Amino acid sequence: MLDMAIANEQAPDYRKKFVQNKLTAKFNLISCTLNKRAFL
């Protein structure tokens, strides 16, 4: 557990970007679905 915590402290930017990319992908998927519904 401690090793993981240390690794997270050493690479916070990488983790933040990874999480942001996942959230962005999810948001894009939702937007795409809503747009399809609006057009159909």
The domains of the chain are located at 2-38
Average pLDDT of the segment spanning 3-24: 76
Q: How far is CA 13 from CA 7, 29, 30, in A?
A: 12, 24, 26
More confident residue, 11 or 19: 19
Average pLDDT of the segment spanning 5-27: 79
CA 29 from centroid of its chain's CA atoms: 12
Average pLDDT of the segment spanning 25-35: 89
Q: How far is CA 26 from CA 1, 3, 14, 21, 22, in A?
A: 29, 30, 19, 9, 6
Give the position of tokens 């915590």.
Answer: 5
CA distance 36 to 39: 5
